[in-house]
């Protein structure tokens, strides 16, 4: 399967260099380039790429608001935020808006390609520093959000356990090892969790778990 990618960044050099690196991959095809958030929204609607690389800071409309509008429209395009710093002040807001992960602009060609593949297949892409910041942000929120807590009742005990481990950053293989079950069984649980909770991917599942109070700082 070829992964179709849109690159949204106001810097021509970034767009061109990322385009060259990604197009060199046999399974990735850059189908468009956007110069700002509004342009990105328009091209996502027209091209329906699998993944959109979205710069956070852009003129006219920033990447955060563009992400919020794209996900609110029910687009299947996964958003991979581009940032200069791994502790960007907008990390928390972007994840809440529907972003599936973050990537530093100085990442290697290998890291860039792997990130696109991970996001395209519904995987989570959160650096340890970002996960730590996420926990701290949710801890400051105080009590769990009631609507989220109520929806946990739709999950089985095992699904709730899997959701908590997803929020702690465990991969499918790590989940399988910890729960002593087959990796395919883990994938089935993850799929059912996403469907029951109406979530886009593992990253949004992690956000849900924190907001529902299933995972707290120190876990």
pLDDT at 142: 53
Structural fold of domain 3-125: Rossmann fold (3.40.50)
Residue with tokens 């290998």: 110
pLDDT at 55: 93
Instruction: Report the half-sphere exposure of 151 (CA within 13 A, side-chain side).
Output: 19
Quote the strand ranges of the chain, DSSP E.
Answer: 3-8, 28-34, 51-55, 78-83, 101-104
CA dihedral over 216, 217, 218, 219, signed as positive or negative: positive
How far, in Å, CA of 169 to CA of 125, rounded?
9
Instruction: Note the pLDDT tens digit of each residue in 54-71.
Output: 998 899 999 999 999 999
Assess contact for 70 and 52: CB atoms under 8 A. yes
Q: Cα separations (Å) of 56 from 23, 25, 88, 102, 164?
A: 23, 25, 9, 10, 28
CATH classification code of 140-211: 1.10.10.10
CA-angle at 96, arms to 16 and 28, nearest 5°? 30
Band (pLDDT 50/70/90 cuts) for residue 135 is low
Helix axes 157-167 and 202-211, enclosed angle (nearest 10): 100
Band (pLDDT 50/70/90 cuts) for residue 125 is low
How far, in Å, CA of 140 to CA of 152, rounded?
21
pTM here? 0.75
Domain coordinates in residue numbering, the chain: 3-125, 140-211
pLDDT at 32: 97
Specify which of 35-39, 115-119, 126-130, 162-166 reaches the highest per-range mean pLDDT: 35-39
Q: In CATH terms, are 3-125 and 140-211 the same topology?
A: no
Instruction: Note the pLDDT tens digit of each residue in 65-124.
Output: 999 999 988 898 999 988 876 555 677 777 778 888 888 888 888 889 998 998 898 776
pLDDT at 101: 83
How long, in residues, is the chain?
Answer: 219
């Amino acid at each position: 399967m070829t992964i179709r990618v849109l690159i949204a960044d106001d810097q021509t050099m970034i767009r061109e260099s990322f385009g060259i690196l990604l197009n060199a991959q046999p399974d990735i095809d850059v189908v468009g380039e956007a110069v700002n958030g509004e342009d990105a929204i328009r091209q996502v609607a027209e091209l329906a790429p699998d993944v959109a690389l979205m710069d956070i800071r852009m003129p006219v409309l920033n990447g955060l608001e563009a992400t919020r509008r794209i996900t609110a429209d029910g687009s299947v395009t996964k958003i991979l935020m581009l940032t200069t710093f791994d502790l960007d002040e907008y990390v928390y807001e972007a994840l809440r808006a529907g972003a599936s992960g973050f990537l530093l602009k100085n990442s290697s060609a290998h890291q860039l390609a792997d990130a696109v593949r991970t996001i395209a297949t519904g995987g989570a892409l959160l650096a340890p520093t970002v996960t730590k910041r996420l926990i701290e942000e949710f801890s400051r929120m105080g009590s769990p959000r009631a609507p989220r807590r109520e929806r946990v009742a739709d999950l089985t005990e095992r699904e709730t356990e899997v959701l908590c481990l997803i929020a702690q950053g465990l991969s499918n293989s790590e989940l399988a090892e910890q729960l002593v079950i087959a990796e395919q069984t883990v994938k089935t649980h993850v799929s059912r969790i996403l469907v029951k909770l109406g979530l886009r991917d593992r990253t949004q599942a992690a956000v849900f778990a924190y907001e529902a109070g299933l995972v707290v700082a120190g876990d």
